[in-house]
């Protein structure tokens, strides 16, 4: 995990990902682009305090729970999923 602690951008667009679990400790991550996959599940850990952009458009998500400490988040792309439940946790 120590090698990822300086990661600022993760772009995994256009793959066939169905599930993704991010490790804890990605405190410098500012953008996470996961659009055009087949994600049905996404687990975001606490501690993504620098995350500004989260894009999960054009996936297969039916539910999404966001951690309470996404205080820097200013862009959230959720379009073209199968969402029936979105949980925006408050701190």
Q: Is the dihedral of CA 45, 17, 81, 8 positive or negative?
A: positive
* pTM, rounded to two decimals: 0.91
- The residue segments making up the domain with residue 67 are 1-7+25-91
Number of domains in the chain: 1
Give the pLDDT of residue 24: 87
**Placement of tokens 């993504």 in the chain:** 48
Give the pLDDT of residue 2: 55
Q: Number of helices and strands (H, E) in the chain?
A: 0, 8
pLDDT in tens, 18-69: 999 888 889 999 999 999 999 998 989 999 999 999 999 999 999 999 999 9
What is the pLDDT confidence band of residue 88, given thresholds at 50, 70 and 90?
Answer: confident
20 within domain boundaries: no
Decide: helix, strand or coil at residue 66.
strand
68 within domain boundaries: yes
């Amino acid at each position: 995990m120590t090698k990822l602690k300086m990661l600022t951008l993760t772009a995994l667009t256009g793959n066939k990902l169905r599930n993704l679990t991010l490790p804890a400790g990605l405190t410098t991550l500012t953008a996470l682009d996961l659009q055009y996959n087949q994600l049905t599940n996404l687990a975001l850990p606490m501690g993504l305090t620098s995350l500004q952009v989260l894009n999960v458009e054009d996936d297969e998500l039916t539910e999404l729970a966001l951690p309470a400490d996404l205080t820097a988040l200013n862009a959230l792309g959720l379009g073209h999923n199968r969402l029936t439940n979105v949980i925006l946790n408050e701190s």
